[in-house]
Amino acid sequence: MRIRVVQMNSVVGDVAGNLDRMLSFVEDARGTGVNILVFPEMSLAGYPPEDLLFRPGFLFAQAQAQEKLAACSGDMLVVAGYAYAEQRGLRNAAAVMAKGRTLARIAKQHLPNYGVFDEDRYFTPGEGTMLLQWKQWTLGISICEDLWYPDGPYLRQARNGANLLINISASPYSRGKSLMRQEMLATRADDASAYLVWNNLVGAQDELVFDGESAVFAPDGQVLARARAFAEDVLTIDLNRTPSQHRRWIDPRWRLGAVEENGVQRVEVPLAPVEDESQEERRLEEFPDTVESLYKALVLGLHDYIAKNGFGDVVVGLSGGIDSALTAVIAVDALGYQRVHGVFMPSNITSTTSYDDAYHLAQNLGIDWREIPIAPVMSAFMAELGPHFDDRPLDLAEENLQARIRGTLLMALSNKLSWLVLTTGNKSEMATGYSTLYGDMAGGFAVLKDVLKTEVFRLARYVNAQAGQPRIPANVLIKPPSAELRPDQKDEDSLPPYDILDQILKGYIEDDMTPEELIRSGLDVAAVELAVRLVNQNEYKRRQAPVGIKVTPRAFGRDRRMPITARIR
């Protein structure tokens, strides 16, 4: 049995474009001995399609596309994900096609409704057990979440004879998820004593990044092949059914537990397996380490947001600090240096060090450099506002005014030159409100929105190490972080040290720990109380922030949904 896994980057809503690409993969597989060609979950629709699913025209387009794909299936069994409507509601389904027709539609049974997932809002769950019989192979097909349950549909399929399990998936990336997910998949293959083919979507959609890493597992849970991370890939592998059969002969669990259920639907596959004398060389791509994965997720997230939305160039406000430096590097790696513009906007209190660091960064990256001083604009604002400020001392109003002038300048360049503004704030700042509405928060896409400050430093060191030279100037990595909106300002004047703050934020935001639990874990009482208060009172700011890339288990936005008006102690 030769199986080809197409780890594909679909575009949400572009049914015709997705179909064209899928048909090209079908044509590429002809004459290569491929028996089964597998596409990811929702490969025709893109994932997640959200409320596009309520549009009849979108569903009709998918139905037509699925019929065209079936018509071209020929002597291969083609499995592809899409949404279709029936009397009982919408289904998240796998279409199984061969010989120019649709043999089966298998609906997802477990609909995730947590974190970023809202599938209960749209879909009706599937039911029952369906198997496809192909000579001596019995196939069980499931969709994403169905495999995350230890006693899910895959196990019923195996107990009713399935020796090859295929799961099509759209499982998004988050920090540390890859190894945990692969361990789960290996366990499922071992529990089922069956081959497991897992095809995961790749690419980015708004906040989400899908990392791919599709894989094939042996009946003992050993990984046989793995596709690349964060890139489209095609994985082809030859399988022999003997290992699955042998494990079930010698394992007493299968002698006792493999009892035929009533009502199992069996579908005969009208194809003769195509035997090919050649053997595909098994390819096992390595997992990127944690920092590399995080960086690749950010690059892919930015690249696809720009490409799929039809944007051209991007502009970054360069401050000489580490956040804008890392944002610019990511933009260059995602889009190429020709499409990245850096704008330095000094005030009367901007240091020469900031100028030097920003300028050398732009030189290192080869990006367009522009300088627009804000002092004349600030003077004009103060001339008009001064009489209304009633001789009050300088405070946050004047500091934020500088940030808002910079935001206005960047947005003016965006409007005039069609550049998308990339904001540079990180998760630590977003969490505590250490940012200015309509100032440094003004823009179209927030690359570092879900990256804590300590991770920003880690990523900056990573990009320099990978390059073998300081793409980000060395001084940027060692100087104390500062918003530089008043003389001698340091972030730690207003916030706990970032190594402490980020521990608090991770515990409070990602792990839902209470302040008392954080304090009992050894964290400073005053730091915990300040950080928690800032997080709670700044939800209104985050609600107005631009969309950004999700890379942690709990990101702000659609993942962590908190009320603005809430009396939380």
CA torsion 315→316→317→322, rounded to 10°? -170
Q: Which amino acid is at 295?
A: Y
Name the amino acid, one letter, at 340.
V
Q: Which two tokens stand for residue 479?
A: 């100087």
Q: Is 308 a catalytic residue?
A: no
Listed in sequence order, the DSSP H helices in 309-448 are 322-335, 352-365, 375-385, 396-417, 427-432
- CA–CA gap between residue 241 and residue 160 (Å, rounded): 16
Tell me whether strands 137-143 and 164-169 are parallel, antiparallel or unpaired. Answer: parallel
The closest alpha carbon to 444, from 420, 427, 409, 426, belongs to 420
Q: Is 72 a catalytic residue?
A: no
- Active-site residue, selected from the candidate residues 50, 86, 108, 399: 108
Angle at CA of residue 257, ends 251 and 258, nearest 5°: 90
Query: Residues 328, 289: contact at Cβ < 8 Å?
Result: no
Phi-psi region of 402 (alpha: psi -120 to 50; beta: other; left: phi over 0): alpha
DSSP state of 477: H
Catalytic residue among 41, 145, 207, 539: 41
DSSP-derived 3-state class of residue 32: coil
**CA distances (Å), origin 162, targets 157, 305, 417, 555:** 5, 40, 58, 38
- First and final CA of the chain: distance in angstroms? 60
Cβ 459 vs Cβ 451: under 8 Å: yes
Does the N-terminal peptide bond of residue 48 adopt cis geometry, omega within 30 degrees of 0?
yes
To the query of whether residue 484 is one of the catalytic residues in this protein, the response is no
Q: Residue by residue, what is the 3-state secondary structure of 164-182?
A: EEEEEECCECCCCHHHHHH
Element (H, E) at 79: strand 77-86
Q: How far apart are CA 495 and CA 358, in angstroms?
A: 24
Catalytic choice (144, 213, 427, 510): 144
**Which residues are marked as active site?**
41, 108, 144
